[in-house]
Amino acid sequence: MIDTAMPRGLVAVSRGGKITARAYLQESRSHGEKLAQAIETTLLDANLKPQELQGIVVGVGPGSFVGVRVGLSTAKGFALALKIPLWGVSTLSALAGAVTVQEQPRVLALIDARRGQGYAQSFVQYTSGFAELGPGKACDPHELEEMVPLHDIVVGNGAFLLAEPPRSHQEMQGVTGDGMLVAFQARCAQHVPPNELLALVPLYIRPPDAKKPAVRPDYSVNPSTSK
């Protein structure tokens, strides 16, 4: 399992429905530099060789545009080289999957989206998993203020966007192995097959901050048409 969409990145190995090894990357700007070493360390801790992996689960965002691309491209490279299936899961769903409160809570997964916005998505949790109550979206603070009272708990790193702290909050700077496992199991319960490598793309929700440079008008004179 790989997710580098948030400030704290994750690499984890699961066997028999349990996380057996994990490593965290603490600095988002260095996820690209440290991810390969984290994968190697986690496989050693799990006493596994890369060739023994049976599949890869990767977080596709939303979150850091660069972080999402780093994790996704790395996961695709492993899946292609090892000829194993690849499943993409939303980082918001992995956050919701980490919530441990009982009694079918309504969960609001909330991530800092920068530009004064948050990426938010609603879920309801059941004993056997959870279900989405709508798609993820980029929200302004006033929209989040309207959403929060409709939920039992807020999870993620975007609560600072709220004027007042939510009554129940699980601060998380990144997903956990257990959360990703729950998100993956929820996907399997819906009988969703593995993703095609070329079809699996980042879930940005909002267009990337980087923009293509504007095309400058060409004021040069065409010699063949000049007088």
Catalogue all structural domains in the chain, each as residue range(s) with its CATH number.
2-92+175-189 (3.30.420.40), 100-171 (3.30.420.40)
The contacts of residue 90 (CB under 8 Å, 6+ apart) are 59, 60, 61, 62, 121, 136, 183, 203
What confidence tens digit (pLDDT) does each residue in 59-118 have? Answer: 999 999 999 999 999 999 999 999 999 999 999 999 999 987 767 789 999 999 999 999
Q: How far is CA 63 from CA 109, 148, 174, in A?
A: 12, 20, 10
CA gap 49, 189 in Å, rounded: 28
Q: Given its phi and psi angles, is residue 112 left (phi above 0), alpha (psi -120 to 50 degrees) or beta?
A: beta
Q: Write the pLDDT tens digit of every residue in 167-216.
A: 899 999 999 999 999 999 988 888 889 999 999 999 999 987 655 555 55
Distance of CA 22 to the CA centre of its chain: 17
pTM above 0.85, yes or no: yes
Whether 127 has a pLDDT exceeding 80, the answer reads no
